[in-house]
Amino acid sequence: MGERFEFIAAPEDAGTRIDKLLSAQLSDMSRSALQKLTEDGSVLVGGKAVSKNYKLKNGDVITVDIPEPQELKAEPQDIPIDIVYEDDALLVVNKPKGMVVHPAAGNPDGTLVNALLYHCKGRLSSINGVIRPGIVHRIDKFTSGLLMVAKTDKAHNSLAAQIKEHSFTREYNAVCVGRFKEPTGTINEPIGRSKFDRKKMCVTYQNSKEAVTHYEVIEELGQYSLVRFRLETGRTHQIRVHSAFIGHPVLGDDVYGRPYKGIEGQCLHAKKLGFVHPETGEYMEFDSQLPDYFTRILDKLRKG
């Protein structure tokens, strides 16, 4: 199942070609790709297919169905990975900053999944399909830290249920821009995909899901803050979106904030992971050290 988007033509859109409007609304897709969708009948106006040069009328209801991209086949690759814990049911890995979790367009290989397939000799849960074997939850390319991987479908189902029930511990450390007025707090704002840019998420009350993030300021660093975040829910880009929403974007986040010289991407580390083991019923918790890039930023900010 792909994605569906719906737009309503405003008075100022009247007389505009539909492919021009779609290019503005779906900015991460090329105009030629949008024209092909129109030719294939995936773009409807009032429930009817139209040509790519259709001129809009005020109040036109436009729906766009974007098909699921064809899955790549992930291949095993001998890539070193930092394994914190492993048994027959699962493993916990410490992902470096800059590594993509699973293959996708633009990152067909060199991912954590490629490395896991080699290390585990294919013994990974199959629930998320051939492109995301074993992946129960994800962290972004430029977020470092702990990630849970399931080897069996039983383990995968158990861990996914714990995440859904909010009993799965996930704590992050981040350097955020600015000084917080309150040293602790909770951000309870729903998150959904931005209607202006499909690659971005945002706080929105339409087509969104509940998102709850707890925070605690660990240290003030001049005009920056070292913050501990605890996820109650796990939406895409949740910490990055929530921290930017309250006016304290994660340092270096060039999507929801601004770049920072010396690091690529956000200064965000998945530090603590806790869960009930699917086989033994024992609660297990892992804590990882802050990586070098993170400690260098802290040292720089502490020196002023």
Same domain, 172 and 289: yes
Same domain, 99 and 225: no
Q: What is the pLDDT of residues 35-90, one digit of tens each?
A: 888 888 899 999 999 988 899 999 999 999 887 765 557 889 999 999 999 999 99
Q: How confident is the model at residue 282 (pLDDT cuts 50, 70, 90)?
A: very high
The reported pLDDT for the residue numbered 184 is 98
Same domain, 159 and 179: no
Mean pLDDT of 14-29: 84
Q: What is the DSSP string of the chain?
A: --EEEEEE--GGGTT-BHHHHHHHHSTTS-HHHHHHHHHTT-EEETTEE--TTPBP-TT-EEEEEEPPPPPPPP-------EEEEE-SSEEEEEEPTT--SS-BTTB-SSSHHHHHHHHTTT-S--TTTTTSTTBSS---TT-EEEEEEESSHHHHHHHHHHHHTT-SEEEEEEEEES--SSSEEEEE--EEE-SS-TT-EEE-SSSEE--EEEEEEEEEETTEEEEEEEESS--TTHHHHHHHHTT-PBTT-TTTS---TTSSS--EEEEEEEEE-TTT--EEEEE-PPPHHHHHHHHHHHH-
Backbone torsions φ then ψ of 280, nearest 5 degrees: -95, -20
CATH of the domain at 91: 3.30.2350.10
Task: Report the domain count for the chain.
Answer: 3
Q: How far is CA 245 from CA 88, 90, 188, in A?
A: 41, 35, 11
Same domain, 242 and 285: yes
Q: Are 278 and 158 in contact (CB under 8 A)?
A: yes
Mean pLDDT of 176-183: 97
The reported pLDDT for the residue numbered 131 is 79
**Residue 272: other Cβ atoms inside 10 A:** 18
Distance of alpha carbon 55 from the chain centroid: 36
Same domain, 157 and 257: no
Residue where a domain stops, chosen among 110, 145, 165: 165
Residue where a domain stops, chosen among 35, 50, 66: 66
Same domain, 85 and 103: yes
Among 50, 84, 69, 64, residue whose Cα is nearest residue 7: 64
Same domain, 173 and 289: yes
The separation between the first and the last C-alpha atoms of the chain, rounded to the nearest angstrom, is 50
Q: Flag whether pLDDT at 15 surpasses 80.
A: yes
Range of the domain at 7: 3-66
Same domain, 187 and 248: yes
Q: How confident is the model at residue 180 (pLDDT cuts 50, 70, 90)?
A: very high
CATH of the domain at 7: 3.10.290.10
Q: What is the pLDDT of residues 222-246, one digit of tens each?
A: 999 999 999 999 999 999 999 999 9
Same domain, 37 and 122: no
Same domain, 59 and 86: no
Residue where a domain stops, chosen among 165, 191, 213: 165
Same domain, 146 and 241: no
Distance of alpha carbon 247 from the chain centroid: 20
Q: What is the pLDDT of residues 90-121, one digit of tens each?
A: 999 999 999 999 887 677 789 999 999 999 99
The reported pLDDT for the residue numbered 103 is 83
Same domain, 200 and 77: no
The reported pLDDT for the residue numbered 70 is 57
Catalytic residue set: 140
Average pLDDT, the chain: 92
